[in-house]
């Protein structure tokens, strides 16, 4: 518990402080145990509130994590755009040089996702359940935010690749979707992961997310470019 005195917030500033404390508590718990394992009661206990009091600030447990997902999208988009902008040379010298550049871009995108474990976890849970137990207004706000950020990253990707915007958009959408899916398959830090690693016949269950994601994104980049060369 935080030790804060959580009397009901009386001002907008106090309300924002309560919300930030709740979000921080949820993020700590989810980072340690995974989004799936964190209940509303656990978040309330962590922040030092009664569950019913906490739900004055967010509609549901899912609403808390959807807000965290929105914030994580913003942080990731800003970071990966910065990394892509550092790759200023647009490839025009032919296929071999472009394939090397594509691998560098793919590695940068993959690393930017995998280095954010909570974001990867949230990416999988968002369509599965976080959008299913909140109001449609919450869903609209989240989707509008994520769609705009996806477009921003896609536009930046176009500046360092020969891809059209629709192709770049497909790369970004696939990268984020696969990051969430592969993260769940990898089951990092869980008993299931330990089990996979202890059983040789289950070696296929041991997923190393970053190289697999790099390979997928790289294949998309080179594949889309190959179409323009044929």
pLDDT tier at 9, thresholds 50, 70, 90: low
Angle between helices 165-186 and 209-229 (to 10 degrees): 160
What average pLDDT does the structure give for the chain?
Answer: 89
Percent of the chain with pLDDT over 70: 90
Average pLDDT over residues 137-147: 97
DSSP 164-179: -HHHHHHHHHHHHHHH
φ, ψ for residue 173 (rounded to 5)? -65, -40
Within 10 angstroms of residue 219's Cβ, the number of other Cβ atoms is: 13
Q: Mapping DSSP to helix (H, G, I), strand (E, B) and coil, where does residue 199 land?
A: coil
Q: Per residue in 50-91, pLDDT tens?
A: 999 999 999 999 999 999 999 999 999 999 999 999 885 555
Mean per-residue pLDDT, 189-203: 80
Residue 230: per-residue pLDDT: 55
> Is pTM, for the whole model, over 0.75?
yes
> How confident is the model at residue 95, as a pLDDT?
61
- Three-state SS for 11? coil
Quick one: average pLDDT of 131-154?
A: 97
Q: Coil, helix or strand for 34?
A: coil
Q: In this predicted model, what pLDDT tens digit does every residue of 12-37 receive, in sequence order?
A: 788 899 999 999 999 999 999 999 99
d(CA 65, CA 128): 12
The Cα 10–Cα 119 span in angstroms is: 32
Q: What is the pLDDT of residue 192?
A: 80
Instruction: Note whether 105 and 30 are within 8 A (CB).
Output: no
Q: Token match 């109001």: residue?
A: 135
Report the 10 Å Cβ neighbour count for 23.
19
Whether the pLDDT of residue 47 is over 70: the answer is: yes
Q: Are residues 163 and 157 in contact, defined by beta-carbon separation less than 8 angstroms?
A: yes
Q: In the structure, what pLDDT confidence band is assigned to residue 1 with cuts at 50, 70 and 90?
A: very low
User: Bigger pLDDT: 120 or 207?
Assistant: 120
pLDDT for 154 equals: 98
Distances (CA, A) of 162 to 84, 87, 171: 14, 13, 13
Is 132 in a helix, a strand, or coil? coil
CB 172 within 8 A of CB 106: no
The DSSP secondary-structure symbol of 143 reads: H
Better-predicted residue by pLDDT, 154 or 6 = 154
* Range in 137-141, 202-206, 214-218, 220-224 the model is least confident about: 202-206
């Amino acid at each position: 518990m935080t030790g804060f005195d959580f009397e009901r917030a009386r001002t907008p500033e106090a309300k924002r402080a309560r919300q930030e404390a709740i979000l921080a508590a949820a993020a700590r718990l989810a980072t340690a145990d995974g989004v799936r394992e964190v209940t509303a009661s656990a978040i309330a206990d962590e922040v030092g509130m009664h569950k019913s009091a906490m739900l004055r600030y967010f509609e549901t447990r899912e609403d808390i994590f959807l807000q965290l997902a929105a914030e994580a999208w913003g942080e990731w988009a800003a970071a990966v755009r910065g990394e892509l902008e550092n790759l200023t040379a647009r490839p025009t010298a032919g296929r071999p040089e472009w394939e090397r550049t594509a691998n560098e871009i793919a590695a940068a995108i993959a690393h930017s996702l995998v280095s954010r474990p909570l974001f990867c976890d949230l990416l999988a849970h968002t369509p599965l359940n976080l959008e299913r137990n909140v109001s449609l207004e919450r869903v609209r706000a989240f989707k509008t935010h994520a769609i705009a950020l996806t477009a921003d990253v896609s536009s930046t990707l176009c500046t360092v690749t020969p891809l059209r915007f629709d192709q770049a958009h497909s790369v970004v959408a696939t990268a984020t979707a696969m990051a969430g899916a592969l993260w769940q398959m990898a089951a990092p830090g869980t008993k299931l992961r330990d089990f996979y690693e202890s059983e040789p016949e289950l070696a296929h269950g041991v997923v190393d997310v970053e190289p697999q994601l790099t390979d997928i994104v790289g294949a998309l980049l080179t594949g889309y470019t190959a179409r323009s060369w044929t």
